[in-house]
Amino acid sequence: METILAKTLGQENLSAAAEERRQLFSRLLGRLAHEIRNPLSSLDIHVQLLEEDLGDLAPQAKVKLAARVDVIRGELHRLDAIVEQFLRLADPSAPNVTAVDLAKVIGHVCDVLRPEAANRKIELIPHLSGRLPLVEADSDQLIQATLNLVINALQAVDHCGRIELRACRAKGGVDLEVQDTGTGIAAEHLEAIFEPYFTTKVEGNGLGLWIAQQIVAAHGGTIRAANVPGGGAVFRIHLPMRQRNSAHG
Ligand SMILES: Nc1ncnc2c1ncn2[C@@H]1O[C@H](COP(=O)(O)OP(=O)(O)O)[C@@H](O)[C@H]1O
Ligand SMILES: [Mg+2]
């Protein structure tokens, strides 16, 4: 059922039954997101209070605990972003479309994840070839999709390695690639990884790639995964260009 939904979601010619299922699924997602949001904001407030309480502590204890609180806050923000994403998926009328510079998307994602990459001794390398045409897209959604890919890459590399983010002109549009030096993807999983809830991780939720795919599909694009011959995986998002954009660029 979920597999069927995942495959039909985002495609243009939905059958009536599939459309009905999609709407039901959207409502469930929206409901779930709202339910999660309340305890999340309560957690956020308490983290803020904790930070204030830290002021009373001795310097040594303060440093140690402040680092922990930082991690908690970072994760809370990530959860909040996921919930936000679900709310948007649940209400597809919400996308905020502007002319987006993929270089900025890549820059932002690198800024957000560089501390985590540095902790793991993983190089995060952006490659931006020439002047890229702007794409008409929801910038936050593209950032979310790219974050999901790079987070997976960090987890696949785990420790010591390289993640390269590339944006370049491609036939009919723009390509955004995330390539890593990690474990690569088992051949028998290549089809399944985009299905909702498919995960090979003990603590995975199996939603990252599915969400990325939904976002890309909503932009009329495609997302593909492959293994790199020397080891590691590469994910390529292709976004189509509007005619009038490709004429300038
Ligand atoms: N860069 C990658 N290298 C190797 N495997 C990957 C990579 N990205 C995704 N995968 C595989 O795809 C699965 C699904 O990814 P995702 O939907 O993000 O869920 P999760 O990260 O929670 O497992 C992962 O569990 C993993 O097996
Ligand atoms: Mg993931």
Tens-digit pLDDT profile for residues 198-246: 999 998 889 899 989 989 998 999 999 999 999 999 999 999 986 554 4
Q: Please identify, by atom number, the ligand 1 atom nearest to the C-alpha of residue 198.
A: 14
Residue 177, pLDDT score: 98
Residue 90, pLDDT score: 72
104 and 192 fall within a common domain: yes
Phi/psi-derived region of residue 68, left when phi > 0, alpha when psi is between -120 and 50, beta in every other case: alpha
Helix (H, G, I), strand (E, B) or coil at 149: helix
Full residue range of the structural domain in which residue 111 is found: 97-247
119 and 228 fall within a common domain: yes
Give the total number of structural domains in the chain. 2
Closest Cα to atom 1 of ligand 1: 153
125 and 218 fall within a common domain: yes
Q: Please work out whether the CB of residue 41 comes within 6 Å of at least one atom of ligand 1.
A: no
Domain boundary among 55, 90, 125: 90
147 C-alpha to center of ligand 2: Å? Answer: 9
Q: Please work out whether the CB of residue 240 comes within 6 Å of at least one atom of ligand 1.
A: no
77 and 103 fall within a common domain: no
Name the average pLDDT for the chain: 86
Low-confidence ranges of the chain (pLDDT < 50): 1-14, 245-249
Does the model's pTM come out above 0.85? no
116 and 235 fall within a common domain: yes
174 and 211 fall within a common domain: yes
Contact 4, 20 (CB under 8 A): no
Distance (Å) of CA 118 to CA 108, 146, 158? 16, 18, 11
114 and 133 fall within a common domain: yes
58 C-alpha to center of ligand 1: Å? Answer: 42
Domain boundary among 90, 122, 149: 90
Give 191-236 as a DSSP string: TGGGSTT---STT--S-HHHHHHHHHHHTT-EEEEEE-TTSSEEEE
Q: Please work out whether the CB of residue 210 comes within 6 Å of at least one atom of ligand 1.
A: yes
Q: Please work out whether the CB of residue 156 comes within 6 Å of at least one atom of ligand 1.
A: yes
Residue 130, pLDDT score: 76
Six token digits for residue 8: 């039909």
19 C-alpha to center of ligand 1: Å? Answer: 27
Residue 93, pLDDT score: 57
The CATH number of whichever domain residue 139 belongs to comes to 3.30.565.10
